[in-house]
C-alpha cells in the first residue's frame, strides 16, 4: 500500500516536471543539491464534514509540521519573477482538544496524519520582500478517532469506516507566502483534505490522472500569459490552479474518486496561518 502512495506522488511530480520541461522561459529543475532545507509550522481550525451525514462534527484545532526543500529560481519572464518550489514531508494533529472554544458542539475527534507533498508557483520579488502565491497537493495517511458517547439518537456506524485505522487520502492547498528577506516567511492558507474510507487503487489512479492532467493544461495556458504580462501571469496562475482544484474537490465531496462511483470522503476544510524558516 505504501508503494501505491509513492506511485501516486510520482505522478504528481511527473506532471509538474513535464509541464516545466516544455517551458524554456524559466531555468529550474528539482534536486536536493540546489534546494535549501526548510521548516514550516502552522496552526489552523478545521471544519469537518461528511456528505449526507446528519450529525454535527466538532471543529478541530490543527497543528502541522512540514520538513522540506525549497527552491527559488530566476526566470526569463522578468527579473523580478521567480519560480518557487517546495517538496515536503508533513505530520499533523487535528483535535477538538486543540480548539479552545466554548461553543464547539458535535462529535469530538482526534486525528493524526503524515504524508508527502509538493507546492509551487511564481514569486514576485519587490526589493527585500517577496510575495509567493502557490498551489499545493499532498498524499496522506490519516488515523482518525472519534469520541463515541453512548447516545441512542446518534448513528456512529458510518464513522466506523474511518475510525482507529490509517486511511489513505489527499489534499489541496492555496496560500500566499509573505517572505521577508531570505530566511523567514509568513503564510495564510486554506486546505481541503479528504480521508478515504477505503482505497481502490484503479479508481484513485484514474481520478488523479484526470486531476493532474488539468493542472498540466493550465500550466501551459498560464505560461503564454507570463510571456506578455509576467506579474499578472503569476497571479492568474495562482487563481486558475486553485479555482480548478477547489472545483475538482467539490466534485469529490460526494464521490471520493470522481468521476467514478465511490463513497463520500471525510473532509477537513482548514484555514491556517504558518511560518517557514529556510536555511
Tell me: the pLDDT tens digits for 159-210?
Answer: 988 987 899 999 999 999 999 988 899 999 999 999 999 989 999 999 999 9
Q: Which of 20-29, 68-77, 170-179 has the highest mean pLDDT?
A: 170-179
State mean pLDDT over 78-88. Answer: 95
- Largest alpha-carbon pair distance within the chain? 65
Confidence of residue 96 (pLDDT cuts 50, 70, 90): very high
Confidence of residue 103 (pLDDT cuts 50, 70, 90): confident
Tell me: the pLDDT tens digits for 268-277?
Answer: 999 999 999 9
Domain hosting residue 12, numbered range: 2-278
Q: Which of 44, 73, 26 is nearest to 171 (CA)?
A: 44
Tell me: the pLDDT tens digits for 245-254?
Answer: 999 999 999 9
Identify the pLDDT of residue 148.
Answer: 77
Long-range CB contacts (< 8 A, 24+ apart) of 236-243? 237/121, 237/122, 237/133, 238/121, 238/122, 238/133, 238/134, 238/135, 238/174, 241/135, 241/215, 242/135, 242/172, 242/174
pLDDT at 28 exceeding the cut of 50 = no
Could you give the CA distance from residue 185 to residue 51 in angstroms, rounded to a whole number? 35
State mean pLDDT over 30-48. Answer: 85
Identify the pLDDT of residue 152.
Answer: 65
Identify the pLDDT of residue 181.
Answer: 84
Q: For residue 182, how far is the Cα from the chain centroid?
A: 24
Number of compact structural domains in the chain: 1
Asked if 78 contacts 230 with a C-beta cutoff of 8 angstroms, the reply is yes
**DSSP at 153:** T
Identify the pLDDT of residue 156.
Answer: 85
Asked if 177 contacts 131 with a C-beta cutoff of 8 angstroms, the reply is yes
Q: Can you tell me whether residue 72 is helix, strand or coil?
A: strand
Q: What is the dihedral of CA 203, 208, 213, 215, to 10 degrees?
A: 150
State mean pLDDT over 139-146. Answer: 96
Could you give the CA distance from residue 81 to residue 233 in angstroms, rounded to a whole number? 10
Identify the pLDDT of residue 182.
Answer: 82
pLDDT at 5 exceeding the cut of 60 = no
Identify the pLDDT of residue 190.
Answer: 99
Q: Which residues contact 127 (CB under 8 A, 6 or more apart)?
A: none
Least confident residue range of 29-43, 153-167, 207-221: 29-43
* Statement: the pTM of the whole predicted model exceeds 0.85: yes
Interhelix angle for 230-251 vs 201-228, to 10°? 160
Identify the pLDDT of residue 19.
Answer: 45
Could you give the CA distance from residue 20 to residue 23 in angstroms, rounded to a whole number? 5
Question: Which CATH number does the domain housing residue 263 bear?
Answer: 2.40.160.20
Identify the pLDDT of residue 29.
Answer: 41
Asked if 172 contacts 245 with a C-beta cutoff of 8 angstroms, the reply is yes
pLDDT at 64 exceeding the cut of 50 = yes
Task: Count CA within 13 A, CB hemisphere, residue 109.
Answer: 31
Amino acid at each position: 500500500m505504501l508503494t501505491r502512495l509513492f506511485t501516486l506522488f510520482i505522478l504528481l511530480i511527473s506532471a509538474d516536471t513535464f509541464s516545466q520541461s516544455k517551458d524554456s522561459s524559466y531555468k529550474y529543475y528539482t534536486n536536493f543539491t540546489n534546494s535549501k532545507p526548510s521548516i514550516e509550522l502552522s496552526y489552523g481550525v478545521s471544519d469537518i464534514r461528511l456528505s449526507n451525514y446528519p450529525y454535527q462534527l466538532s471543529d478541530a484545532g490543527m497543528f502541522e509540521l512540514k520538513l522540506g526543500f525549497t527552491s527559488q529560481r530566476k526566470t526569463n519572464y522578468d527579473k523580478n519573477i521567480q519560480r518557487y518550489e517546495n517538496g515536503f514531508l508533513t505530520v499533523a494533529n487535528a483535535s477538538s482538544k486543540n480548539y479552545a472554544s466554548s461553543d464547539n458542539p458535535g462529535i469530538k475527534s482526534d486525528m493524526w496524519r503524515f504524508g508527502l507533498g509538493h507546492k509551487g508557483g511564481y514569486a514576485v520579488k519587490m526589493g527585500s520582500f517577496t510575495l509567493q502565491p502557490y498551489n499545493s497537493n499532498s498524499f496522506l495517511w490519516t488515523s482518525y478517532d472519534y469520541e463515541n458517547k453512548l447516545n441512542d439518537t446518534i448513528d456512529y456506524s458510518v464513522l466506523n469506516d474511518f475510525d482507529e485505522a490509517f486511511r489513505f487520502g489527499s489534499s489541496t492547498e492555496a496560500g500566499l507566502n509573505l517572505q521577508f528577506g531570505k530566511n523567514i516567511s509568513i503564510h495564510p492558507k486554506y486546505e481541503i483534505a479528504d480521508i478515504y474510507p477505503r482505497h481502490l487503487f484503479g479508481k484513485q489512479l484514474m481520478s488523479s490522472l484526470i486531476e493532474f492532467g488539468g493542472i498540466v493544461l493550465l500550466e501551459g495556458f498560464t505560461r503564454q500569459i507570463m510571456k506578455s504580462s509576467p506579474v499578472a501571469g503569476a497571479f492568474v496562475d495562482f487563481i486558475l490552479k486553485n479555482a480548478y482544484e477547489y472545483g475538482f474537490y467539490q466534485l469529490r465531496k460526494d464521490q471520493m474518486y470522481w468521476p467514478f462511483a465511490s463513497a463520500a470522503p471525510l473532509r477537513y476544510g482548514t484555514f491556517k496561518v504558518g511560518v517557514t524558516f529556510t536555511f
